[in-house]
Amino acid sequence: MQDSDIRFQYVLHLADNSMILGQRNAEWCSHGPVLEQDIAITNITLDLIGEARSLYAYAAELKGENATEDTIAFTRDVKQYKNALLLEQPNTDWAYTVVRQFFYDAFHFQLLNVLQKRKDERIAEIAHKSLKEVTYHLKWSSEWLIRLGDGTDISREKMQIAINDLWEYTGEFFIPTEIETKAFELGIAADVEKLKPLWLEKVKAIIEQATLTIPSKNFQQNGGKNGLHSEHLGFILAEMQFMQRAYPGVEW
């Protein structure tokens, strides 16, 4: 595999993470529990999709062949998406949304902090800009996890159930794919295995402050970063890609 292919595939992975979580969060638009948080989750969605757009635009340049950010985002098949499995999991309720966002924010923050210092100038530039936004995302999801975990008996129970159910998807962040390993060797990616202690330190501190507990189970789901997804991603793409597939080349 040539260096340009490795770079392209790695940028796709980064973009897909942000795009799929952004698309999932967008389902809350006009359905948030209160107006202020409806606006907050929508703004987080816009930040994620904005990051994805910048990365897809870079991926299109790397790919050439008249590719655009739209063709890359909206015309690939489900197995060509490289996002982590956690990010495609259903919203279920507000507790699941907060926990999913927190788990990813804690990872995303550490990842971008490394990427802004790596060799690829475009990735570093996007990471530097996005880090400012993700710092807020992490603050927001941490505060909500604490607020609901250390809230009523019902809110605490819901948060613990969400943590228990989603915990098995977090390990995938720290299992490097072949592309991530080769991209790290090129000096453009992060060593995700080294991010785990930093992630775990943050997660443990917030969960403890929320009077919640980390599950003891060790089993971890894996495969999304290699294109092996849950059934949920197909439904996300069916909605997300409808316009481009129904009207190829349509522009807003």
CATH of domain 3-211+222-246: 1.20.1260.10
Determine the pLDDT at residue 252. 64
Determine the pLDDT at residue 124. 97
Q: Where are the domains of the chain?
A: 3-211+222-246
**Amino acid sitting at position 91:** N
Q: Which long-range contacts (CB under 8 A, 24 or more apart) does 210-213 make?
A: 210/145, 210/146, 210/148, 210/149, 210/150, 210/159, 211/149, 211/150, 211/156, 212/145, 212/149, 212/156, 212/159, 212/160, 212/163, 213/160, 213/163
The tens place of each residue's pLDDT in the chain, 252 residues long, gives: 788 899 999 999 999 999 999 999 999 887 777 777 878 899 999 999 999 999 999 999 999 888 899 999 999 999 999 999 999 999 999 999 999 999 999 999 999 999 999 999 999 999 999 999 999 999 999 999 999 999 999 999 999 999 999 999 999 999 999 999 999 999 999 999 999 999 999 999 999 999 999 998 788 999 999 999 999 999 999 999 988 888 887 776
**DSSP summary character for residue 68:** -
CA–CA gap between residue 231 and residue 223 (Å, rounded): 13
CA–CA gap between residue 189 and residue 87 (Å, rounded): 20
Determine the pLDDT at residue 112. 98
Determine the pLDDT at residue 29. 82
